[in-house]
Every structure is written in structure tokens, then in C-alpha cells.
């Protein structure tokens, strides 16, 4: 949006961007005073000291000194693009959100990222990728903050600092940058076996995507959708790339990363600039909203579990196309703030305790990262729906609020804003029955840490399985502590006998015995059919 341009003394003014800081013909100070010189400090004599009174020097340097903001504590490195989501109407019967109405077009901004590396790290590392989408709907902002891997490392958000501390570079040497090949990572995942399925996905080709354009995306958690009649369903969100799912092989990733550490960032921007717009279908797996929140024996509140598509097919509900690069990386890609709690009427959360912790974490971190509580007013974060909140003041307040009564109830300013009816508002909690003893606890189903890792490994083609074995051998080979390697071999023994013997051979260590049966007798009949005959795409 271009601001109104006031001309000075009849002169035609040039406006760039949104006009802030780039208006008019002449170089000025931040307060609009024209400058005649910007290359020399004000000094006493040709060879003398610089004078404190040089406002232009001090302003220029001081602003520069504060140009950087903290990088994201995770997902620091990313690339983003603008686009549109077009709904096909298939979700209308399960969700009342206007963005899913047939033919609805919603502007989106999508940021892809690696998880562990810093802002300047390479794109091509073995890591999970973030896939975060901001839908600017006419009912408010909806953020789908997902990853390219459908399972997560942990079941409970209270463990997030642990997994991230373990996976980030060692605190003493600050290496390795964005590789999982180090002792702390492998130490943690060997002691914390609920990470097994995610680690296996990471060691598969999914951990080194060919392009952001060729990745699937997953909401991971189970969400609750509500339709116009108030009926609810549980769903998992999936993005399916039109370009198909493709990965680099390890050697390609090493060469690409060496030649061009911006490999994925460049690929996304170049494709869009060339008019080869990336697109994805958005789909949902739908499950009945039963009291136990289970499906075919799979706990829908456990984010370390998927539901195989053979058991619950993905139903396409719309298509997203990215067709514009950001104008300014900092203003858009860096300042965008996603939040899993940004919901619209018809989309609700579940009791997944990983999701529940995320609801706290994102806003909290963004208050630091983006300098106070008003970052929703930054252009990239502004909703396209009208905002009428009672939030006031704070650092970087850009609004000039009128009236005297930002509180509820009030009788001044013409009274309070109207409250929406329950069926047109968000955050209408489904009145679930909740009971139980207070305690730090988890359901028994959360103890199954290996069946899904086995399911995933079985689904891979022989060459993909070979890549997994090579990845484990390489990454564990980088560990200094032998007992960490040995403990991880113990985990692999619970996944597949062939896999553990190749990796143990590569590391020159003995092959351990499994500590639990590899046959998954506990799986439901339908689930135990899934795996061996999965097509490989």
C-alpha cells in the first residue's frame, strides 16, 4: 500500500517501497533535513579530531549499530515468497472458515527454513525444513506452521529446549553448524527414544531436499475443524508439491553446498522470477472426533506418529501458488512472525501437548526478536481483516488510537466494539469433558517409540534404505564418544536387523541385539498391512 504523498513546494516527489525512509529527491537525515555531504566527518582542521556536534555522523553510525535484530532461536535461516491459496470447496462440509469456501482466494506468505543453522548457514545441510504459511484471510490471519517431515522429535513441548540445546552446535566450540553429526545430538536421541522416528526421517533423503519447491509440508499436530452446524472433525494438514518430492543425494548436497550455500534460496527466487511458480495442493486426512482421539490404534495427540495415507487418504481442499518474491528480505522474510495460535473461525487446536507449548512459545520469543509487543503492525504481519483491539502503547506502537476507553465494558467513545456471535468468532472452545489427576504424566500409547520408525523404514526402496544406512554411518562416525555410537546402534537394532548390521560394520563396532520384538504384534490388523508394498515416488 502506497501512503499518501504530499508534495513540497510543488515538486514531484519520488516514493519507493512504502515511502518510509525513501521519499523525495534529496538525501536527508531521518527527520527529513537535506544534507549536502555524507562522505566526510566534521573535523577540526584537515588532520584534527572529529567533532561531537556532527549529528549526521552520529545518526548514521548509531542507526547502523542497531541494524541487526536477533535471529530466530530456531529456523533462523529461511527464504520466503508471496502467493495465493485457492480453495476448491472440498472442506466446506467440515470447516466453516471462509478461506476454505469454494473459489475463495486468500493471499499467503510462505517462509521455508532449516531448523538448526544460523542465518548465514548453508541451505543444503541434513536437517528438517520449516514450511510456515500465513493466510491473510478476511476473518483474520491463519498460520499453518509446519515442517517437511510429518513427525516430530518430542511429544511434549517441555522437552523443546532439551532437543534444541542438544542439536545446536556444541556450546564450547560452536560447531558443527547445522549438521546433526555431533555428540550432543546423538547423545540426546539415544537417551530419548521418542525421537527415533523423526531421526530416521532426518537420515533419509527427506533430510536433504532438492528444492523448497519439491518438499511436502505437514501441520504434524492433529487439529479440530468445526463446520457451520457446529460438528467437529479431527484433521492432519498436508501440502503436496506439484513438482513432486525430490531430494539431493549426499554427494550432490556436498557439492551444491560448497559451490552455492544459497542453493535453495536462489532456486526459489529464480524459479519465481522466471515464472515457474511453485505450487502445492493442501489436503487433509480426516478422522472422527471420538472421545479417545485415536485412529486405528494411533494416538492422534502424539506428534511423533503419522497416520498412513492408506488408512486415511489425503483429501485435497485447495491449491497454493507462489508467484512473487519479497521486495525486501528484512522487512518481509526476517520480520514475519508466525504463530500456531493464529486461528480463524472453524479451525481449532487439540490437546496435543507439543502444540499447547508452542502456543506460548512463539509470541513470547517474538516479543524479544521483534522488539516489543506491537510486531503485528509490521506490514508483513498486518491482517487483511479489520483490527479493533484494545491493545495499547508499548515499544514501536505505530497506531494513533483515538478515544479514551480501551477497556471492556465501557460507556464512553460510543460504547464498546460489538462482540461477534459465537458462530462467527474464533477461539470457541469445543466443550470437551476434561477430568483426571493433576500430574506430570503421559498416556501409555506414548511409550511406543519404534513401531513408526519401522513402518517408515519398511516403506523405503532398497536404494533409499541404503542412503539411510550411509547417513547413520557418516553422522555417527563424527561422534567422539564410543558409548554414544553404541547406544545409537542399540536403537537401530530395534528398527531393522539389516540396517544395524551395515551401520555397525561401517563404524567397526559389534552388532547389538534388539531389545524389543521387531514384528509389531501390537499393531491393528489394518496398520500391520501398511509398509512393505508402499509405492515409491
Q: 176 or 303, CB closer to ligand HEM?
A: 303
Location of C-alpha cell 497416520: 307
The closest alpha carbon to 133, from 280, 262, 270, belongs to: 280
- Which of 56, 147, 264, 325 is an active site residue? 147
Taking the complex as a whole, the smallest distance from the CB of residue 380 to ligand HEM amounts, in Å, to 11
If binding is defined by CB under 6 A, does position 111 make contact with ligand HEM?
yes
Phi, psi (degrees; rounded to nearest 5) at 215: -115, 145
Taking the complex as a whole, the smallest distance from the CB of residue 362 to ligand HEM amounts, in Å, to 5
Q: 92 or 123, CB closer to ligand HEM?
A: 123
Task: Report d(CA 267, CA 259) in Å as an integer.
Answer: 14
CB proximity list for 136: less than 8 A, separation 6 or greater: 106, 107, 108, 109, 383, 384
Taking the complex as a whole, the smallest distance from the CB of residue 366 to ligand HEM amounts, in Å, to 5
Taking the complex as a whole, the smallest distance from the CB of residue 61 to ligand HEM amounts, in Å, to 28
147 is an active site residue: yes
Q: Is 295 helix (H, G, I), strand (E, B) or coil?
A: strand
Location of C-alpha cell 541451505: 123
CA R_g for the chain: 26
If binding is defined by CB under 6 A, does position 204 make contact with ligand HEM?
no
Helix ranges (DSSP H) in 274-322: none
If binding is defined by CB under 6 A, does position 192 make contact with ligand HEM?
no
Phi, psi (degrees; rounded to nearest 5) at 245: -95, 120
Q: Which residue is nearest to ligand HEM (CB)?
A: 130
Task: Report d(CA 289, CA 296) in Å as an integer.
Answer: 13
Q: 240 or 369, CB closer to ligand HEM?
A: 369
CA angle 483-484-490, nearest 5°?
A: 90
Q: 286 or 355, CB closer to ligand HEM?
A: 355
Q: 88 or 361, CB closer to ligand HEM?
A: 361
If binding is defined by CB under 6 A, does position 362 make contact with ligand HEM?
yes
Taking the complex as a whole, the smallest distance from the CB of residue 205 to ligand HEM amounts, in Å, to 19
DSSP assignment string, 340-390: TT---TTEE--S-HHHHHHHHHHHHHHHHHTTSTTGGGSGGG--SS-----
DSSP assignment string, 418-433: PPPPGGG-S-------
Q: Which of 56, 236, 342, 358 binds ligand HEM (CB under 6 A)?
A: 358
Cell readout for 421 is: 456471535
Q: Is 408 helix (H, G, I), strand (E, B) or coil?
A: coil
Location of C-alpha cell 501441520: 219
Stretch that binds ligand HEM, among 69-77, 209-217, 499-507, 519-527 (CB under 6 A): 69-77
396 is an active site residue: no
Stretch that binds ligand HEM, among 58-66, 309-317, 361-369, 526-534 (CB under 6 A): 361-369
Residue 200 CA to its chain's centroid (Å): 20
Across the strands, what pairs with 281?
Answer: 240, 319
- Which of 75, 182, 264, 342 is an active site residue? 75
Tell me how many residues contact ligand HEM (CB under 6 A).
29
Q: Which of 242, 316, 331, 357 binds ligand HEM (CB under 6 A)?
A: 357
Count the helix, strand and coil residues of the chain and give each as a percent rounded to the nearest 5.
30, 15, 55
Q: Which of 100, 136, 160, 375 binds ligand HEM (CB under 6 A)?
A: 160
Q: Which of 97, 99, 116, 145 binds ligand HEM (CB under 6 A)?
A: 145
Q: 74 or 97, CB closer to ligand HEM?
A: 74
If binding is defined by CB under 6 A, does position 113 make contact with ligand HEM?
yes
Taking the complex as a whole, the smallest distance from the CB of residue 225 to ligand HEM amounts, in Å, to 18
Task: Report d(CA 192, CA 186) in Å as an integer.
Answer: 10
Q: Are the C-beta atoms of 238 and 216 separated by less than 8 Å?
A: yes
Taking the complex as a whole, the smallest distance from the CB of residue 318 to ligand HEM amounts, in Å, to 20
If binding is defined by CB under 6 A, does position 147 make contact with ligand HEM?
yes
* H or E, element range at 297: none
If binding is defined by CB under 6 A, does position 150 make contact with ligand HEM?
no
Stretch that binds ligand HEM, among 134-142, 313-321, 365-373, 464-472 (CB under 6 A): 365-373
Enumerate binding residues for ligand HEM (CB under 6 A): 72-75, 78, 111, 113, 130, 132, 145-147, 152, 157, 160, 220-221, 303, 336-338, 354, 357-358, 361-362, 365-366, 369
Residues serving a catalytic function are: 75, 147
Amino acid at each position: 500500500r502506497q501512503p499518501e504523498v504530499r508534495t513540497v513546494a510543488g515538486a514531484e516527489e519520488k516514493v519507493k517501497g512504502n515511502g518510509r525512509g525513501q521519499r523525495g529527491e534529496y538525501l536527508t537525515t531521518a527527520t527529513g533535513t537535506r544534507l549536502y555531504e555524507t562522505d566526510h566527518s566534521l573535523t577540526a582542521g584537515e588532520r584534527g579530531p572529529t567533532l561531537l556536534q556532527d549529528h549526521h555522523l552520529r545518526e548514521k553510525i548509531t542507526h547502523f549499530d542497531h541494524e541487526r535484530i536477533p535471529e530466530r532461536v530456531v529456523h533462523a535461516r529461511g527464504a520466503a515468497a508471496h502467493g495465493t491459496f485457492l480453495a476448491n470447496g472440498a472442506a466446506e462440509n467440515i470447516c466453516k472458515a471462509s478461506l476454505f469456501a469454494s473459489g475463495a482466494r486468500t493471499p499467503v506468505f510462505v517462509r521455508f527454513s532449516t531448523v538448526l543453522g544460523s542465518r548465514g548457514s548453508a541451505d543444503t545441510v541434513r536437517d528438517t525444513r520449516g514450511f510456515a504459511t500465513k493466510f491473510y484471510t478476511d476473518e483474520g490471519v491463519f498460520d499453518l506452521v509446519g515442517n517437511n517431515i510429518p513427525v516430530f522429535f518430542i511429544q511434549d513441548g517441555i522437552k523443546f529446549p532439551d532437543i534444541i540445546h542438544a542439536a545446536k552446535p556444541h556450546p564450547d566450540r560452536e560447531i558443527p553448524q547445522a549438521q546433526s553429526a555431533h555428540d550432543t545430538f546423538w547423545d540426546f536421541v539415544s537417551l530419548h527414544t521418542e525421537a527415533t522416528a523423526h531421526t530416521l526421517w532426518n537420515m533419509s533423503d527427506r533430510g536433504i531436499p532438492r528444492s523448497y519447491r519439491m518438499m511436502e509440508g505437514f501441520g504434524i499436530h492433529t487439529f479440530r475443524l468445526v463446520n457451520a452446524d457446529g460438528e467437529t472433525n479431527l484433521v492432519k494438514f498436508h501440502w503436496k508439491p506439484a513438482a513432486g518430492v525430490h531430494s539431493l543425494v549426499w554427494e550432490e548436497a556436498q557439492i551444491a553446498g560448497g559451490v552455492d550455500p544459497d542453493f535453495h534460496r536462489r532456486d526459489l527466487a529464480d524459479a519465481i522470477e522466471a515464472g515457474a511458480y511453485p505450487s502445492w495442493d493442501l489436503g487433509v486426512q480426516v478422522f472422527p472426533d471420538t472421545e479417545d482421539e485415536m485412529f486405528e490404534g494411533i494416538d492422534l495427540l502424539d506428534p511423533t506418529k503419522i497416520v498412513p495415507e492408506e488408512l486415511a487418504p489425503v483429501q485435497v481442499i485447495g491449491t497454493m501458488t507462489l508467484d512473487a518474491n519479497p521486495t525486501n528480505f528484512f522487512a518481509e522474510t526476517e520480520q514475519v512472525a508466525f504463530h500456531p495460535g493464529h486461528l480463524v473461525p472453524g479451525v481449532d487446536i487439540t490437546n496435543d501437548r507439543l502444540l499447547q507449548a508452542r502456543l506460548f512459545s512463539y509470541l513470547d520469543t517474538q516479543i524479544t526478536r521483534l522488539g516489543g509487543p506491537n510486531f503485528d503492525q509490521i506490514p508483513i504481519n498486518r491482517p487483511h481483516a479489520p483490527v479493533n483491539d484494545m491493545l495499547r502503547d508499548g515499544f514501536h506502537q505505530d497506531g494513533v488510537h483515538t478515544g479514551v476507553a480501551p477497556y471492556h465494558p465501557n460507556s464512553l467513545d460510543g460504547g464498546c466494539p460489538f462482540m461477534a456471535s459465537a458462530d462467527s468468532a474464533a477461539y470457541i472452545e469445543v466443550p470437551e469433558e476434561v477430568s483426571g489427576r493433576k500430574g506430570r504424566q503421559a498416556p501409555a500409547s506414548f511409550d511406543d517409540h519404534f513401531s513408526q520408525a519401522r513402518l517408515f523404514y519398511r516403506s523405503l526402496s532398497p536404494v533409499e534404505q541404503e542412503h539411510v544406512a550411509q547417513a547413520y554411518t557418516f553422522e555417527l562416525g563424527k561422534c567422539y564418544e564410543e558409548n554414544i555410537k553404541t547406544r545409537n546402534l542399540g536403537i537401530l537394532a530395534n528398527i531393522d536387523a539389516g540396517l544395524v548390521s551395515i551401520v555397525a560394520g561401517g563404524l567397526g563396532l559389534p552388532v547389538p541385539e534388539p531389545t524389543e520384538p521387531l514384528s509389531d504384534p501390537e499393531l491393528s490388523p489394518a496398520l500391520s498391512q501398511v509398509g512393505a508394498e508402499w509405492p515409491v515416488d
